[in-house]
Amino acid sequence: MWPAAALLALVAAGVGVTVGILAMGGKSEEDAAVAPTRTARATAAPTTDAAKACARGPAPASEEPTLFDDLADGASRDDPDFEVSFGAEVSDQSAGVHADLNLEMAVGGKNVAPRAFYVTIPPEWGITPGCQIPLGLAIGKLRWDAPLGRDGNPCNEPGPLLFNMLNASTDTANTVEFGDSDGNDRPDFAEDKDASGRADVVEKYPTFLKRMFPGRVPIRRLVGLFKYVDPPILAQSLFFESLSGSKGTTLVIIVQDLGDPEAVRGESGFTDYCTPYGFRISDSGATFEGLPLYTNPAAGRYQFILTAFGERDADGDGIENTLDTCPFDVNQGNPRVKGEGDADEDGLDAACDPNDFEGNPDQDGDGYLNRVDICPLAAGADTTKQKDADEDGIGDECDTSGKGRDVPDGHVSLALGAGEIVTH
Ligand SMILES: [Ca+2]
Ligand SMILES: [Ca+2]
Ligand SMILES: [Ca+2]
Ligand SMILES: [Ca+2]
Report domain extents, the chain. Answer: 21-312+412-423, 316-408
pLDDT at 269 over 80: no
Alpha-carbon torsion, ordered 231, 235, 241, 247, to 10 deg: 160
pLDDT at 356 over 50: yes
Regarding predicted confidence, which is higher, 27 or 115? 115
The string of pLDDT tens digits covering residues 79-89 is: 888 999 999 99
Q: How far is the CA of 134 from the centre of ligand 4 (A)?
A: 43
Rounded-to-integer distance, Cα 93 and Cα 296, Å = 8
pTM of the complete model: 0.85
pLDDT at 147 over 90: yes
The string of pLDDT tens digits covering residues 151-202 is: 778 999 988 999 999 999 999 999 999 988 999 989 999 999 999 999 999 9
Regarding predicted confidence, which is higher, 295 or 273? 295
Contact (Cβ atoms closer than 8 angstroms) between residue 147 and residue 157: yes
Mean pLDDT of the chain: 85
- Of the ligands numbered here, which is closest to the C-alpha atom of 323? 1
The string of pLDDT tens digits covering residues 89-108 is: 999 999 999 999 999 999 99
What average pLDDT score do residues 356-360 get? 95
The pLDDT of residue 240: 94
Among the listed residues 253, 208, 383, 413, the one whose alpha carbon sits nearest the alpha carbon of residue 321: 413
pLDDT at 21 over 90: no
Q: How far is the CA of 146 from the centre of ligand 3 (A)?
A: 25
Rounded-to-integer distance, Cα 157 and Cα 136, Å = 31
Burial of 89 (0-12, 13-18, 19+ CB in 10 A): middle
Q: How far is the CA of 352 from the centre of ligand 2 (A)?
A: 8
How many CA atoms lie less than 13 Å away from 311 in the CB half-sphere?
Answer: 36
How many CA atoms lie less than 13 Å away from 213 in the CB half-sphere?
Answer: 25
Q: How far is the CA of 275 from the centre of ligand 2 (A)?
A: 22
pLDDT at 41 over 80: no
Contact (Cβ atoms closer than 8 angstroms) between residue 318 and residue 332: no
Query: What is 207-274 written as a DSSP string?
Result: HHHHHHSTT---SEEEEEEETTSSSPEEEEEEEEE-GGG-SSEEEEEEETTTT-TT---S-SSEEEE-
The pLDDT of residue 64: 86
The string of pLDDT tens digits covering residues 214-233 is: 999 999 999 999 988 788 88
Q: How far is the CA of 222 from the centre of ligand 1 (A)?
A: 37
What average pLDDT score do residues 366-393 get? 83
What average pLDDT score do residues 411-416 get? 95
The pLDDT of residue 19: 28
Q: How far is the CA of 3 from the centre of ligand 3 (A)?
A: 16
CA-based max dimension of the chain: 66
Regarding predicted confidence, which is higher, 1 or 311? 311
Rounded-to-integer distance, Cα 36 and Cα 166, Å = 9
Q: How far is the CA of 409 from the centre of ligand 4 (A)?
A: 7
The pLDDT of residue 59: 61
Q: How far is the CA of 331 from the centre of ligand 2 (A)?
A: 11
- Of the ligands numbered here, which is closest to the C-alpha atom of 359? 2
